[in-house]
Amino acid sequence: MSAGTSGPPLGTGPEKAQFVATMFSRIAGRYDLMNGLMTLGMHHAWRRVAARHTIAAPDGPALDLATGTGDLALELRELHPHREIVAADFAAGMLREAATKMREIGAGNRVRLVAADALALPFPDRTFACVTSAFLLRNLADLRQGFSEMRRVTRPGGRVVALEITQATLPGFRPLFRFYFHHVVPRIGGVIAGDREAYTYLPQSVDRFLTPPDLSGLMGEVGLRAVKYQRLGLGTVTIHVGVA
């Protein structure tokens, strides 16, 4: 689907999955730059906080889903030098960028990159001590199935940790953020990444996404326990944590 049509698919199903995979491969080369510009560099700190929520996980390997260029996987690597880190994505372009980054910083022997669909993970039950993701959930064609797969591959007592963009709710700040997110970000995306459509999809997907309480409820429905969430960035991002 290209700009000028009815817009990107925001619901569920294979059309959305194909759109998302193609879009992320398309913007992979400028993904890190855009993240830095959009968040004023704060996305690294958010990922660091998300990674810390895995400290209480039992021994065993860690899985980072929708790893993109590997930033959260690298945070896990720094925090857990004893764990094997598996970083998975289904966008080929993102995996290529991640592989380049790992080679450049000499992390290739500590982070294993895998092509995988979050809705059908190619791992046995109870493989991982923790499963993390950053900015994955809005892009899933079936959110319940995604959480079910995360729980399935997590060991008992393991942690499922998801960092996601959420709608700002602070009075006064909310309209300012909406203007920035809906009008400024797409323009930056058009200029820097050459892809205004991708950065128009971004705020639209957030608008239609579950609130943190509703998302926590869904995590509980698939069997995750002690679900909690932490808002960061003046409420513009939220970290959700559940115990398998």
Query: Is pLDDT at 1 greater than 70 in this prediction?
Result: no
Q: Within the chain, what is the greatest distance between any pair of CA atoms?
A: 50
Supply the DSSP string of 10-66, one letter for each residue.
Answer: -SSSHHHHHHHHHHHHHHGGGHHHHHHHHHTTTHHHHHHHHHHTTTTS-SS-EEEET
Residue-wise pLDDT for 57-114, tens only, equals 999 999 999 999 999 999 999 999 999 999 999 999 999 999 999 999 998 888 999 9
Residue 78: what residue type? E
Bridge partner residues of 230 (DSSP):
239
Q: How confident is the model at residue 15 (pLDDT cuts 50, 70, 90)?
A: confident
CA dihedral in degrees (114, 119, 122, 128; nearest 10)? 80
Task: Tell me the residue ranges of DSSP E strands in 91-224.
Answer: 111-115, 128-134, 154-165
pLDDT cut 70: percent of the chain above it: 95
Residue 14: what residue type? P
**pLDDT score recorded for residue 242:** 98
Q: What class, spelled out in words, does domain 14-243 have in CATH?
A: alpha beta
DSSP helix/strand/coil, 4:
coil
**pLDDT score recorded for residue 108:** 81
Domains in the chain: boundaries: 14-243
Residue-wise pLDDT for 127-171, tens only, equals 999 999 999 999 999 999 999 999 999 999 999 999 999 999 999
Question: What sign does the CA torsion over 27, 23, 37, 97 have?
Answer: negative
Q: What's the gap between Cα 243 and its chain centre?
A: 18
Is residue 203 within 8 Å of residue 181, measured between CB atoms? yes
